[in-house]
Amino acid sequence: MAGEPQDDCLFCKIVAKQVPATIVRETDTTVAFRDINPQAPTHVLVIPKAHHRDAAALAAAAPDLAADVLRETQAVADEEKLESYRVVFNTGAGAGQTVWHAHAHVLGGRGLEWPPG
Ligand code: AMP
Ligand code: ZN
């Protein structure tokens, strides 16, 4: 069922503290932690605690929770003192999504080219 923890989901395990992560922020509905393979000096992932497979599913099923995730990206950028940063939701394998639990990448601390690859 949408939103229920999935046994085979890495990020559900991070939410449950069954897999360690460097958590930088946590709210009732979200967790933010450092990406294990950072692509910028600041690379933090913001996830909803509830399981949704991607950003599209999250937005459709739980728009208030999607707003919580977006608000947390701003809070992370603020804490990390990022003046400019990028928020990315890779959605679908063709866009580079590899973990099927919705997550926002918050990237900053270096110049970011546009358009991205
Ligand atoms: P995506 O490719 O958009 O699905 O992003 C998944 C991200 O999760 C990648 O940037 C990975 O480096 C990151 N990642 C995978 N495993 C872990 C982990 N155990 N802790 C933190 N980040 C992870
Ligand atoms: Zn999950």
pLDDT along the chain (117 residues), means of 10: 91 98 98 98 98 98 98 98 98 97 98 94
> 10-108 domain in CATH 3.40.50.300?
no
| Residues 6+ away with beta carbon under 8 Å from 83 | none
Whole-model pTM: value is: 0.98
CA distance 61 to 53: 11
DSSP 8-state assignment for residue 95: G
Extents of the domains making up the chain: 10-108
- Ligand 1 center from residue 109 Cα (angstroms): 19
Rounded to the nearest angstrom, the gap between the alpha carbon of residue 35 and the centroid of all alpha carbons in its chain is 9
pLDDT for res 1: 66
Ligand 1, atom 20, lies closest to the CA of 36
User: What's the confidence (pLDDT) of residue 2?
Assistant: 78
Q: Is 57 exposed, middle or buried (0-12, 13-18, 19+ CB in 10 A)?
A: middle
| Whether 43 is catalytic | no
**Residue 69 CA to ligand 2 centre (angstroms):** 14
pLDDT at position 117 is 83
Is the separation of the CB atoms in 43 and 32 below 8 Å? no
Cis geometry, peptide bond prior to residue 20 (ω within 30 degrees of 0): no
